[in-house]
């Protein structure tokens, strides 16, 4: 079972996304902000990280930068993971559609 980490500050979006993914058979971990998200990524080594871009404090771009640096230094992160940005870019429906097609 693949593990997905959702980093999203809006509770409803986070929960709904998690529910849809769980129904589709994924194991889901939630993080309510970028900082928690980074910790979780290190601890749980998800296969996929689904991350919001516009977030207070640590935003989506900073999260991906940190993650890339961490993989570079050989930290205990997934060797290969897919990173999808949520909300601000494509429509939500399209994104989920694309996401589900990855597998």
Partner 1 sequence: MEQKPISLENEAGFRVLFECATISILVVNEQGNIELVNPCAETLFGYQPAELIGTPIEVLIPENLRSRHTHHRKDYFERPKARPMGLGMELYARKKDGQIFPVAISLGHYELAGEKLAVAFVSDITDQVRAKKLVAEREAWFRNMADNSPVMIWVSGSDKNWTYVNNTWLNYTGRVIENELGTGWADGIHADDLDRCLLIYNEAFDARQAFVMEYRLRRADGQYRWIQNVGKPTYIDNVYTGYIGSCSDIHDQKRATSELEELVRKRTNELYEALDREKEMNEMKSRFVSMASHEFRTPLSIVLSSTTLIEQYGSPNQDERIQKHIARIKSSVANLTTILNDFLSLDKLEQGKVEVELDRITIPEFMKEVVEDVQTVKKNGQLVNIEHQGDDKVLLDQKKLRYILVNLLSNSIKYSSDEAKIRVSSHVNQNEILISVKDNGIGIPDEEQKFMYNKFFRARNTGNVQGTGLGLTIVKRYVDLMGGDVSFVSKVGVGTTFNIRLPKIAAL
Residue 69 binding partner 1, by CB under 8 A: no
Alpha helix (H) ranges present in the chain? 11-23, 34-44, 60-72, 92-101
Cβ contacts of 57-61, under 8 Å, gap ≥ 24: 57/33, 58/33, 58/34, 59/34, 60/7, 60/34, 60/85, 60/86
By CB under 8 A, residue 91 contacts partner 1:
yes
87 is an interface residue for partner 1 by CB under 8 A = yes
Q: Least Å distance between CB 23 and partner 1?
A: 5
Stretch that binds partner 1, among 32-40, 41-49, 73-81, 84-92 (CB under 8 A): 84-92
Q: Which position among 16, 43, 68, 69 is part of the footprint of partner 1 (CB under 8 A)?
A: 16
Compute how many other C-beta atoms are within 10 angstroms of the C-beta atom of residue 50: 25
Q: Which residues bind partner 1 (CB under 8 A)?
A: 10, 12-13, 16-17, 19-20, 23, 54, 87-88, 91-94, 96
């Amino acid at each position: 079972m693949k593990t997905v980490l959702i980093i999203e500050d809006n509770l409803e979006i986070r929960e709904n996304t998690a529910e849809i993914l769980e129904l589709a058979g994924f194991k889901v971990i939630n993080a309510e902000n970028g900082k928690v998200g980074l910790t979780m990524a290190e601890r749980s080594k998800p296969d996929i990280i689904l991350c919001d871009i516009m977030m207070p404090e640590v935003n989506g771009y900073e999260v991906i930068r940190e993650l890339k640096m961490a993989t570079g230094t050989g930290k205990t992160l997934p060797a290969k993971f897919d990173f999808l940005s949520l909300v601000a870019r494509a429509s939500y429906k399209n994104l989920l559609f694309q996401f589900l097609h990855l597998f």
